[in-house]
Amino acid sequence: DVIPQTWSIKKAGEPPLINGWIPFLGKALSFMKAPSTFLLSQQRKFGDVFTIHLAGRYYTFFMDPFQFVYITRNSKQLGFQEFADKMICRTFDVPSVLSTKFPEMNENLHRIYQYLQGKSLDTLSEDMMKNLQQIFERKCSQATDWEAEKMYKFCCSVMFEASFITLYGRVPAADGHKVISEIRDKFTKFDANFPYLALGIPVELLGATKKVRKELIHHFSYQNMTKWLGGSEVIQARKDLFEKYELLTVYDKAAHHFTFLWASVANTIPATFWAMYYLLRHPEALAVVRDEIDHLLQSTGQKKGPRYNIHLTREQLDNLVYLESAVNESLRMSSSSINLRLCQEDFILKLDGNQEASLRKGDFVALYPPTLHMDPEVYEDPKEYKFDRYIENGKKKTTFFKRGRKLKYFLMPFGSGSTKCPGRFFAVNEIKLFLILFATHFDAEIVENKNLGFDNNRMGLGILLPDSDIAFRYKLKSLEK
């Protein structure tokens, strides 16, 4: 274990240390209250690199996005695995993938991420499309007149079910739909306490969380999973791999499956919500996106209006540039993932020009992309939703500048370097497919007159949830003659 050092004596070349005067907590309260505001104020005082004492650990923040590359490419001295592994073990009650009891398990699991790309990604996206289509068809029969619902609840129920069936398979019983709803409700309860678990608060102090987690894990028991029909290559490959480790108990395997389910829906659901919310709040954006979708469907010989089987290739999905830009814009506004690395040894990190930072073993290195996402020098009027920010001359825009220099990193909802999300391509496809099907099946509008903010509870941990739900209504579109 890497033990953090005390910072009683600052050595030459070390970044400025911001200790705070509260014993143990250091600056944790100011940071957690409003991370971006706090970090930017420290940047103004101390420059682009500084170390903050947060709850007994030291975090060196690199604020200049041109510095990010020096951190992400230095994966040997700036590790992540041990620290992430501990967090995952205590949060999801799984055994360590780094344990010598399970040789090469971590590497093997990473190899399986190939099934989230290439041809496997095509299959996943096609299955997701079919599953979403069926769920929307079911909703259609209820929405011949205006149907009112809460929007987060709607996105959660549709995306959870479609993702679950696509990845894990269909629960065959007549009440299969009910079983998935039960899992979803438990998932929502567990997820509400996820930030506390991730922060290290013992599960025993979190009410029913321990019981709910156990029940959730039980759903992924061997007995249950063998009954599910279909399912994806990625889950099959994980099942096959777990069978090779004799020391993994039945419970351990189920807990691993639950962990992956969490990773695959916990961020995708709020990301889908924000993409839909911003589009409905901005009718001009929705009109352009609808137009782009209609145009593609017509040009590929697929009828406009509900009740038809849409089929889109990956290339066609990729070419929906306005839709993609709208999804990216909502990710920019709502993502808050901190990127952390743990220093494995004392060393000097070389930066741009002649700059360098002396780092200590046991300290964290941190990148906080929300300050980049809200940087007015990179994004004009950053607090405004502009659905076409990622479009230039009708094509995808990937050139963003700061101080006149082109940025390598300008949008980081999926992390960076060696810890970048392996499900990112599928995630964006899922959100696009949801929006395509929603837009082709329904007319919709928000009926509650309020602006939503973010629930800061999971600041730093992924896509933020809204601070409350909002009512909207939707109605089946009339079929075109």
For 306, other C-beta atoms within 10 Å of its C-beta total 18
| Both structure tokens of 26 | 């250091």
| Both structure tokens of 105 | 């398990």
Determine the Cα–Cα distance for residues 256 and 253; give it in Å rounded to an integer. 5
The reply to whether 419 sits near ligand HEM by the rule CB under 6 A is yes
Q: Which is nearer to ligand HEM, 80 or 306 (CB)?
A: 80
The reply to whether 413 sits near ligand HEM by the rule CB under 6 A is yes
Which of these ranges, 204-212, 249-257, 259-267, 444-452, lies near ligand HEM under the rule CB under 6 A? 259-267
Q: How far is the CB of 116 from ligand HEM (least distance, A)?
A: 6
Q: Give the CA-trace dihedral at 185, 201, 81, 33, to 10 degrees.
A: 90
Determine the Cα–Cα distance for residues 87 and 103; give it in Å rounded to an integer. 20
Number of residues that bind ligand HEM (CB under 6 A): 22
Beta bridge mates, 405: 402
The reply to whether 279 sits near ligand HEM by the rule CB under 6 A is no
Segment 319 to 358, residues that bind ligand HEM, using CB under 6 A: 335, 337, 339
Determine the Cα–Cα distance for residues 122 and 315; give it in Å rounded to an integer. 10
Q: Which is nearer to ligand HEM, 275 or 452 (CB)?
A: 275
Determine the Cα–Cα distance for residues 338 and 412; give it in Å rounded to an integer. 10
Determine the Cα–Cα distance for residues 336 and 366; give it in Å rounded to an integer. 13
Interface residue with ligand HEM among 156, 421, 464, 465 (CB under 6 A) is 421
Segment 98 to 117, residues that bind ligand HEM, using CB under 6 A: 116
Determine the Cα–Cα distance for residues 316 and 441; give it in Å rounded to an integer. 19
Determine the Cα–Cα distance for residues 28 and 6; give it in Å rounded to an integer. 17
Interface residue with ligand HEM among 39, 312, 320, 463 (CB under 6 A) is 463
Q: 82: which DSSP letter?
A: H
Residue closest to 74 by CA, chosen among 463, 365, 478: 365
Helices (H), 143-267: 151-168, 176-192, 194-198, 209-219, 222-225, 233-243, 250-265
Q: Which is nearer to ligand HEM, 140 or 463 (CB)?
A: 463
Which of these ranges, 125-133, 146-154, 423-431, 439-447, lies near ligand HEM under the rule CB under 6 A? 423-431
Q: Which is nearer to ligand HEM, 195 or 422 (CB)?
A: 422
Which of these ranges, 61-69, 209-217, 240-248, 256-264, lies near ligand HEM under the rule CB under 6 A? 256-264
Which of these ranges, 347-355, 385-393, 418-426, 465-473, lies near ligand HEM under the rule CB under 6 A? 418-426
Q: How far is the CB of 292 from ligand HEM (least distance, A)?
A: 21
Interface residue with ligand HEM among 322, 368, 409, 426 (CB under 6 A) is 426
Residue ranges binding ligand HEM (CB under 6 A): 84, 116, 260, 263-264, 267-268, 271, 335, 337, 339, 413-415, 419, 421-423, 426-427, 462-463
